[in-house]
Structure formats: structure tokens, C-alpha cells
Structure 1
Amino acid sequence: MRNGSVKEVLAKIKYDPRENEEDYYILIEHRGDYGSVKKIPMGLIELGHGYFFVGEAQIPYHRILKVVRKDGRVIWETRKDKRGVTR
């Protein structure tokens, strides 16, 4: 499930010709609304150095909770515990 950093996983999905980015989405922790999760299709994401972009919004990679295939298979998941602390 967890092979490499989230940025490496996203780059593979975006740039590997064997992958179709439309088959994936990410779940992020929504800032300002503790416990709220937002689903973002991979096709809307542009990768940056320390952040990714959805339109004009700049979002840090550490807010990503999961990378998921449309069939529900989790490709990558954060190691944060229920308090939000990275393990």
C-alpha cells in the first residue's frame, strides 16, 4: 500500500503512461474544519515542489490522507494517528 512518499505516488499516477489519472482521487484534510475530508479527482491536480495545486488553491502535501483508485483500493495512506500526529 505505502510505497514511497505521497509526492512520488502522485507523480507516478500523473506521468507514467501506463496509468490513467482519471482512475484515481485523493482525500485531503480540509483546513479550518477539523475532521472534514474533501475528495479531489487526480485530473484536477497539478504537482509542485512542496505543494500541489487545484486551480488557484495551493495545498501542502501533508494534508493528503489517502490516494485511492475509483474501485476503492487505497494506494497510499498517511501514517497519522487519530490525533493528527504522524507516526
Structure 2
Amino acid sequence: MLKEILNKIFWHPNYKKEDFEVVILHRGAEGNKKVIPLEDVEIEGNYLVYFDTHIPLHRILEIRNKKTGEILYKK
């Protein structure tokens, strides 16, 4: 389900990845969470690549629309 949502955001013509952000588990950050804009991310297999950092998909806690606040995925 998670990968399907990400693929839809990345490849469906009705979606723009710059409208979305992901909340990931990031130990050491405030509340152990970090927000990353999807426009700065690429997908490689079961990882999000954020600059030089590979983030396993199981660390994604939430995917939300920045403009509307709609939550597309919540762990």
C-alpha cells in the first residue's frame, strides 16, 4: 500500500510531488521524527533517497499533502 501511494504521487499526472511531504522516524531528532519534502526525494527499490541518505520505507510514519493537510498514509 505504501509503495503504491508513493508511485501514484511520483508518476500520476494529477499529482505533484512538491505538494507532499513525508514524516520519517529519525532517532535523535525532536520527537524522533523528521519532515522531508517529497520534491527532494527519489525512490530506489524499498528506499527513499534524500540527497545521499537512503531511508528504508518502513521508517515512513506519514505522507501528507502540504497544501490541504490531507493524510494519505499513516503508520
Q: Same fold judged by TM-score > 0.5? A: yes
Residues 3-82 of structure 1 mapped to structure 2, 5 A cutoff: 5-32=1-28, 35-70=31-66, 71-78=68-75
Q: CA deviation at 1:17?
A: 1.1
Where does structure 2 lack aligned partners over 5 or more consecutive residues?
Answer: none
TM-score computed with the length of structure 2 as normaliser: 0.88
Q: CA deviation at 1:33?
A: 5.1
Name the one with the larger strand percent.
2
Name which one, 1 or 2, has greater alpha-carbon Rg: 1
Q: CA deviation at 1:65?
A: 0.3
Identical counterparts, % of pairs: 35
Residue 85 of structure 1 corresponds to which residue in structure 2? none
**SS of corresponding position for 1:72:** coil
**SS of corresponding position for 1:43:** helix
**SS of corresponding position for 1:53:** strand
